[in-house]
Chains A and B, each alone.
Chain A
Amino acid sequence: MGRTTVSRSALKRLVKRHKPQLRLSANTDLLVHLNFLLFLQRLAEETRTTAIAEKSKTIKYEHVLSSAKIILKKSRG
């Protein structure tokens, strides 16, 4: 079992650092966290397919880099 707790204060601090004047309403940080988890899932999936396509048994730095470019572009709001 992985960790299931959400580091809410860290998340809020992160948002605060990027946009100091922005305020998060109640429990929005949980949705942000959910979005982040889904992003991570998509990134893992994409990285795995790139690694398989290159006949590599382990996920390497290049795989993550190339798929991060794709997934970050896809995740733009």
Chain B
Amino acid sequence: MGTPTSPRATWTFPSEHGQSAFPLQRLRAAFHYTVAGLCEEVGQDTGIQFSKQAVAAITEITFKQCGSFAKDLEMFAKHAKRTTINMEDVKLLARRSNSLLRYITQKSEELALNNLEQKEKRKKKTKKGRSSDEPAEPAAAESEDSNMA
């Protein structure tokens, strides 16, 4: 009978740090901060300054766009009967613009390469660890042999 309250409205951040009690507002503020930083960078590159209203408008657009991105990604993962969003979903999200798709694909390849390198490093580390254990193995084999005999 009351006004329909969304779960987000009732869910509040613990405000013991003296920050805003509304998580959405905090998120918005974080967005605003990042957007302002990026705008500053672009302004330095091109020599054009952004007004405060323009930065706020870009923040708002980014916010809305993120909402639609999240929905789309969810749908893509669901379509593939997954509950985890992966790189393929993100690529699918960027398919409408060819240049964006190329850029994202390139970035994802870089990420995959980095991951591979890190995995190999980890493997080497574990191999080293195992090599120290290896001398123990022949002894175990010997003990088995002695058992057999």
Contacts and interface: CB of A to CB of B under 8 A. Distances in A.
B96 interface: yes
Nearest to B97: A76
Nearest to A74: B96
Interface of A is mostly: loop
- The bracket for how many chain A residues form the interface is under 10
Nearest to A76: B96
B98 to A, nearest CB: 11
Contacts of A76: 96
Nearest to A73: B96
Contacts of B96: 76-77
B30 to A, nearest CB: 31
A31 B60 CA distance: 35
B75 to A, nearest CB: 12
Nearest to B92: A77
Interface in B93-135: 95-96
A72 to B, nearest CB: 11
Contacts of B95: 77
B97 to A, nearest CB: 9
Interface in B70-103: 95-96
A77 B79 CA distance: 14
Contacts of A77: 95-96
A22 B96 CA distance: 21
A17 B96 CA distance: 22
3 contacts: A76-B96, A77-B95, A77-B96
